[in-house]
Amino acid sequence: MPQADVSSHMATAQSGAGAQDAKPLLEVKDLEVDFQSSTGTVPAVRKASFSIYPGQTIAIVGESGSGKSTIAAAVIGLLPGTGKVTGGQILFDGKDIAHCSRKEYEGLRGSKIGLVPQDPMSNLNPVWSVGFQVREALVANNIAKGSEAHKVAIEMLEHAGLPDAERRSKQYPHEFSGGMRQRALIGIGLACNPKLLIADEPTSALDVTVQKRILDHLDDMTNELGTAVMFITHDLGLAAERASYLVVLHRGRVVESGPSLEILQNPRHPYTKRLVQAAPSLSSQRLSAGISEVHHSHGSSDSGDGQSRPDEVLRAKNLVKVFDIRGAKGEKQELRAVDDVSFSLRRGTTLALVGESGSGKSTVANIVLGLLKATSGEVYYEGVPGSTLSRADMFKQRRRMQPVFQNPYGSLDPMMSIYRCIEEPLRIHRIGTREEREKRVAELLDLVSLPRSAMRRYPGELSGGQRQRVAIARALALNPEIVVLDEAVSALDVLVQAQILQLLADLQGELNLSYLFITHDLAVVRQSADEVIVMRDGKMVETGSCEELFANPQERYTRDLIAAIPGGSIPLWEGA
């Protein structure tokens, strides 16, 4: 949508609790933000305009680097590094705050504009108790002091949905789960009853069911308080479900804006159309008839005693993993992380292990990879029990089975060039001469659609999607039969995620690979899996073909996981 149309469309089209109010709470007009680098000026936001009315929730949507978090930082006066507002206005309650002093911004933060940042682990101080950090916000904004601040802090944590808030307030961030930490940040963000809350990717690192509970709770709290919300996200389905109005950003510019349903049903800009097509939460609706038919028997995992079917490349039988842990008072306890899990992976297919954090799915993956030893049970590789393999045989087995991990930033050595990252498994397994290895690395880069010139670069010089392509190339270096994908796309933007999923599908067809796909995201599962195992608390609660599972889930837990997919019931543009 042209910029002029965007601006004229806003005042009449924005719907929500406060859209009837004549005066916007926040008005961003032709905002420009630049950063200075060693090579000159880098424009991050270009002529961006939108409005938020009292009590309204709008979502700013775009991939990494689109400028959405930069706009949020400009509104709250927290632009990092050399970032500076170089043009336009930011009107809050009618006053231009684009060039406020530090003291003036401190008067706005907390009491007028609250913030729920993206990463709860890095935004909570690890050496302070959670309760102290809520009290700090109250004291800094002159809401309460002393014992009164302690009392209000407990109330805010309770209001944010933390059970046993009095006891929890004395604990530290590392003692909280991801969902609990995010609830604490919501409590801090709303502690001073701000008129506007900026929620910057508040649930991007959370399971879909936890995400739904937290966003439901955030909706309840903001509705009760009459707080307007600026919701920052890269997931168009999530945005449309949670916000009445969308602003789509691409390379620092607003390319389209309007009511959520209108944009999903009639996207005008090519970039918006790409976002609608790529969002897995929306894509899952389109695939109900497109998933391959799989013949599945619930008893097949337990048939025979290590005897493999002709098409079976891997089988796990009655896996159990028990960890020794310490209880609250230091007494020894046991955690049954995996409890009697059995499954079969057929050659050339994708088996997905799905569940929330703590369900045991990654522990199963580590047992399959030989990185953890099962307490009991067995993993068979083409009928051969893993427990009978010598250390030398297990080393050879690793050539046939390779992992791709969740975080491409952490799984590649930043001190090694891309060439060395991909060549390392070839060198460790003593495959080929130096010239042959260099040729193989070049072939692998071609395979994952990266230029051969990338081998001279380092991980820090690549985007997240490019890094994950490097990780996939490294996993394929030894010509494996099985690839274990542990949350391999969950850290990526939806457009990049769609590209990687398509790449994995193409490679599977070309190389006849078998995938064990570990994920918490059922939307991604529906796009990519043949068979699915749903796990909860270490146990298998449901298993079947992907088509069967989505069409007729038997267990309430599975139905809850499917219901938690954001945007799952939103009617879409026909071109999607």
Proportion of the chain in helix, strand, coil states, percent, rounded to 5: 40, 25, 35
Q: Rounded to whole angstroms, how far apart are CA atoms 36 and 43?
A: 9
Q: Rounded to whole angstroms, how far apart are CA atoms 342 and 524?
A: 23
**Per-residue model confidence (pLDDT) at position 573:** 61
User: Is 3-112+195-278's fold the same as 300-413+480-563's?
Assistant: yes
Measured CA to CA in angstroms, residue 317 lies from 81, 308, 379, 385, 482 at distances of 54, 12, 6, 10, 18
**Per-residue model confidence (pLDDT) at position 304:** 40
Label residue 67 left, alpha or beta by phi (over 0 means left) and psi (-120 to 50 means alpha).
left
Span 3-112+195-278: which CATH code? 3.40.50.300
Class of domain 300-413+480-563: alpha beta
**Per-residue model confidence (pLDDT) at position 342:** 95
**Per-residue model confidence (pLDDT) at position 223:** 85
Q: Cβ(541)–Cβ(555) under 8 Å?
A: yes
In the chain, domain spans: 3-112+195-278, 120-193, 300-413+480-563
DSSP 325-355: EE-TTS-EEEEEEEEEEEEEEETT-EEEEE-
**Per-residue model confidence (pLDDT) at position 280:** 65
Q: Rounded to whole angstroms, how far apart are CA atoms 359 and 342?
A: 15
pTM (two decimals): 0.70
Q: Rounded to whole angstroms, how far apart are CA atoms 571 and 261?
A: 8
Measured CA to CA in angstroms, residue 363 lies from 367, 406, 575 at distances of 6, 14, 40
Q: Cβ(398)–Cβ(392) under 8 Å?
A: no
Q: State the amino acid at position 83 in one-letter form.
A: G
Helix (H) or strand (E) holding 209: helix 208-225
| 3-class SS of residue 251 | coil
**Strands 376-381 vs 312-326: parallel, antiparallel or unpaired:** antiparallel
Helix (H) or strand (E) holding 495: helix 494-511
Measured CA to CA in angstroms, residue 182 lies from 75, 174, 232, 471 at distances of 22, 12, 15, 30
Local mean pLDDT, 10-residue blocks, the chain (576 residues): 39 43 86 86 92 93 86 91 91 92 87 82 84 88 86 85 83 80 83 88 74 82 87 84 92 93 89 82 45 35 47 93 72 85 94 87 91 93 88 87 83 90 93 93 90 87 83 92 88 79 89 92 85 93 91 89 73 58
CB atoms within 10 A of CB 310: 6
**Per-residue model confidence (pLDDT) at position 287:** 38
DSSP 291-317: SPP----TTGGGSSSSPPPTTEEEEEE
Beta strands per DSSP E along 183-267: 196-200, 228-233, 245-250, 253-259
| 3-class SS of residue 483 | strand
**Per-residue model confidence (pLDDT) at position 120:** 65
Buried b / exposed e along 487-507 (16+ C-beta atoms within 10 A): bbbbbbbbbbbbbbbebbeeb
Measured CA to CA in angstroms, residue 218 lies from 185, 199, 226, 367 at distances of 11, 10, 12, 38
Q: Rounded to whole angstroms, how far apart are CA atoms 185 and 176?
A: 12
